[in-house]
Amino acid sequence: MLPLLSRVGVKGLSMRAAARAASMSIGGLYYYFPNKRDLVLLPLSDEFIGRICDEHNFRYPDLSSESFARYTAATIVERLDIYRPALRAAMEMGPEEYEAAVAIVVARGFEGFTDSVSLAVPQLDDDELPVLERALRRAALAALLDRTASGPEIEAELDLLITAHKARHRARTLSHG
């Protein structure tokens, strides 16, 4: 259904076409989604985002064995095809829907992110950690909103941010030590 939504937009999407794309009856679709809004904004629901986060965390249980930039990029890239159509649909529905959708992605998409950053970059102190987290959050949000951002570009940008923060930490440690 998301490829169809990407192609025709929320205004061009009919419940009949969505049911056909999902290989289900229109009555079955209406059973789960009483209206088109609920259908197109499903990827932004707490339940859906929670399930995606749980599946992702199951696949990447140990950050120490992964490059943090690769882990974070995988998180973002996996979600681009899911969140982008829903964000565009919310934009078509108006500024209030769009603002609420972005707020949901930012809030739910980065829940527990501080823990992941602290595991991946343990040398950062309590003052440096939130700065890196905010920088990564901004980069991730930009990647979600920029339809042209590719996985390798995102990974390179995240790696650069992390490398820069590690270098700044080393410089501070050397100057104070």
Look at the chain and report how many structural domains it folds into: 2
Single out the residue of 100, 98, 80 nearest to residue 153, CA to CA: 80
Question: Do residue 52 and residue 131 come from a single domain?
Answer: yes
At residue 98, does pLDDT exceed 70? yes
Block residue for tokens 């970059």: 121
CATH label of the domain that carries residue 26: 1.10.10
One domain for residues 25 and 103:
no
Burial of 168 by CB count in 10 Å (0-12 exposed, 13-18 middle, 19+ buried)?
Answer: middle
Q: Specify whether 122 is located in the same domain as 153.
A: yes
pLDDT tens-digit readout, 101-135: 888 877 776 666 667 777 777 888 888 888 888 88
Residues 130-160: pLDDT tens digits? Answer: 888 888 888 878 887 887 888 788 888 888 8
Considering the domain architecture, whether residues 107 and 155 belong to the same structural domain is answered as yes
Domain that holds residue 99: 41-176
**pLDDT per residue over 29-67, tens digit each?**
999 999 999 999 998 888 888 888 788 778 777 665 556
- Give 25's pLDDT tier (boundaries 50, 70, 90): very high
